[in-house]
Structure 1
Amino acid sequence: MTNIDFMGKRKYFYVLSILVMIIGLISYIIQGFNYDIDFTGGTVLEINLHKVPSAAEIADLEKLTKQITGTQTPIVRKIEDGKKIMINAHEVHGKKRTELSKETRDKLFNAIAKKYNLKKEDLISYQNVGAVVSSELKSQAVWAVIIASILMLIYIAIRFEFKFGTTAVIALLHDLLIMLTVYTLFKIPLNSTFIAAMLTVLGYSINDTIVVFDRIRENRRIQGKMDLKDLVNLSMNQTIGRSLSTAATVIIVLFVLYLMGVQSIKEFALPLLIGITSGTYSSIFIATALWFDWERSTRKKLQTKPKRA
C-alpha cells in the first residue's frame, strides 16, 4: 500500500483544475465551440473522392466549403475506408442558420468534383437537419445533465451523507467542464454522440468516487477518533491502486477503439477517453479533497461554538 499525503497536496490539484478551466473559458470566449450539424442545423453531404485525402487536402476542402457556403467553421472528415468524406455545412442569413439550398449544394459539389475529377454519382447522399431539432437537442442535453446530477446527489445523500453527495456532484461538473475545455481548445466537433458519452462518463466517474467515499466511511467507523487528515489519506492510499487499475484497463480499450475504429466509434471513444481520464483524476484528487475541507471546516465551527451553560 502506498503512503502518499494526498490532503497535504490538495491545493496543487485545485490550482491545476482551475487553470485548465480558465484556459477553457478563454478558449470559449475567443473561438467558442465547433458545433456539429446536430446542434447548428444545416446539410450533411457524403462524397466519394476515390482517394484518401491528406490533412492539407481536408483543410483545403474546409476552406472551399467556407467560401461557397459561408459556414464559419465547416466540418470535413473522412469516413469508412477514408476515401469518402462527410461535409457538414449551413447557410447564414443574418443570425439564422439554414440548410444549404440546392443551388449552393450543387455549387459546392461541382467545385469539389472539378478538383478531384468526380462524376455526378460520387455525391452519395445529402441530408438536411433543421435548426428546430438542433435547438431541442441542446435543451435536452442540459436537462439530462441536471436531472442526472440531482438524482445522483439524492442517492448519495441517502446512501452516505449530504456532504459526500454534494462534493461528488461538484466533481462530476468538474469532469464535464474539463471535457468541454478540450473540445473548445482543439475545436473538436461537438455533436449528439458527445451527449451520450458525457452521460456515460458521469455514471462511471460517480462510481469511482463512491468507492473512495465508502472506504472513508468504513475507516471512520473502524479507526474511531483518528485524525481526519490521516483518515482520508489512509482511505485514499487503500483505494488508489484499485482506481488506477480500473481506469487504466478502460482507457487502454478506448485508446485502441479510437485508433482503429470507424468514424462513428471514434466520435464516441474520444469524449469517453477524455472524460474517464478526468473522472479518475477528480475522484481521487478533487471530490475527496473537497469533502475533507468541508468536513474539517464543520468540525472547527463545532469546536469553537460556545457551549450553553
Structure 2
Amino acid sequence: MSIRQINLMAKRKTWFFLSLAIIIPGLISLAFQGLNLGIDFTGGNLWHIEFEEETYSHEVREVLSIHGLEGSQIQEVTASEYVIRSVLLERDEVDAVWESLEEEIGSFEMLRNEVVGPVIGKELTTKAIYALLIAAVAMGLYISYRFEFSFAIAAIIAIVHDALVTLSVFSILQIEVNSAFVAAILTVIGYSINDTIVIFDRIRENLKYKQSNKLVELVNRSVWQTMNRSINTSLTIIFVLLAMLIFGGQTLKPFILALLIGVISGAYSSVFIASPTWLEIKKLQKTKS
C-alpha cells in the first residue's frame, strides 16, 4: 500500500485523541498554575540606559542574573544603549542592580526610569482577548460567505485548537508570556487558516465535480492532493523559526517558540482537525435530515 492510499479520515478519532492528550493536561495546568505572565501583564520596572562605552547584551544579562533577573527583557537600541524590563522591584533592589551594572560594566546615564503598573497589564489582557475573538468571528463570517457555514465552524474549531495547544505548552512548561505572545498567537491563526482554506477549497472543487460518491474518500483525496503543498510550506517556516530560536537571543525566544509551536499545531490541525471536523459536521447534518 502506498502512502497516498492511507485513509487519514478513517482514523479521525485517533487524531482527535492525540490533540486532547495535549489540550486536557494543558487545561488542567491552566486551572491550577496558570500562565507565567511577564511584566507586560503583571507590571514591573522599565529602564532605558546608555553606557559610556560599548557593551554586549549578554554582559548586561550576566549582571542581572546576579540579582535573579536573568529572565528580564533586554532590548538593544545601540551598541551602548539598552531598554531593560524586569519584574517589579523595591527601591533598595533597584539601587543594588544599578550599582552592579556600574561596577561590572561601567558608568551609564539613565535616560528613562518607569514603573509599569498591573492595571496596564489587565487592560492588555482584555484587549488581547478581544483581538482573538474579533479575528475568529471575522474569519468565520468570511468563510461562511465564501464557502458554507459548516466550513466556518470546522475552521474556528481548528483555530481554537491551535491557540489551546500553544497555551497548554506554555502553561505546562511555565514559559514566560508577554505582549509578543499575543502577536504570535494572531500570526499562528492567520497561518493556520490559510492552510485550512487551501484544503477546504480542494474539497469544494471535488464536491463540485463529484470526484467521489463517498464523503470520507472525497475528503481523504482532497487532503492528499494538497499534502505536498502543506508539508513544503510548513517545513520552510519551521526551518527559519528553528534558526531564529537558536540564534535569535534570549529576548526573542518566547515569541519564536510560540510561533514554532503554533505553526506545527496549525499544520497538524489543517489536515487532522479541520477536515475531519467538517466531515463529522456533514455526517451529523445528513443524519438529522
Q: Does the alignment reach a TM-score above 0.5? A: yes
What residue is the counterpart of 1:171 in the other structure? 158
- Counting only pairs closer than 5 Å after superposition, residues 39-188 of structure 1 correspond to structure 2 as 39-45=41-47, 52=58, 61-62=67-68, 75-76=71-72, 86=84, 88-90=86-88, 100-110=89-99, 112=100, 117=104, 121=108, 126-188=113-175
Contact 2:191 2:263 survives alignment (8 Å): yes
| 1:227-246 equivalence runs, <5 A | 227-246=214-233
Structure 1's 246 and 106: CA in aligned 2 closer, same or farther, altered over 3 A? same
Q: 2-side partners of 1:60 and 1:102: how far apart?
A: 17
Gaps in structure 1 of 5+ consecutive residues: 66-73, 91-99, 303-309
Q: Is the 8 A contact 2:185 2:262 kept in 1?
A: yes
Q: What residue is the counterpart of 2:238 in the other structure? A: 251
CA distance in 2, matches of 1:177, 1:164: 20
- Relative to structure 1, the CA distance from residue 57 to residue 240 in structure 2 (aligned partners, 3 Å threshold; closer, same or farther) is farther
Structure 1 residue 87: Cα displacement: 5.5
The answer to whether the 8 Å contact 2:39/2:85 transfers is: no
Sequence identity of aligned pairs in percent?
39
Task: Give aligned pairs, total.
Answer: 279
Alignment of 1:5 with 2:7, yes or no, is: yes
Structure 2: distance between partners of 1:166 and 1:175: 14
Tell me if the contact between 1:198 and 1:271 (Cα under 8 Å) persists in the aligned partners.
Answer: yes
Counterpart amino acid of residue 135 in structure 2: A
The Cα offsets for residues 8-52 of structure 1, whole Å up to 9 and x where unpaired, read as: 111111111111011112222332211111111121357889795
| Distance (Å, rounded) in 2 between the aligned partners of 1:50 and 1:147 | 41
Aligned match of 1:208 in 192, 195, 206? 195
Per the alignment, in what secondary structure is the counterpart of residue 223 of structure 1?
coil
Q: CA deviation at 1:120?
A: 5.8
Change in CA separation of 1:154 and 1:212 when aligned onto 2, cut-off 3 Å: same
CA displacement 1:101-125 (0-9 Å, x = unmatched): 4334214545x569x7565639886
* Residue number in structure 2 paired with 1:70: none
* Stretches of structure 2 lacking an aligned partner (at least 5 in a row): none
The aligned amino acid for 2:87 is A
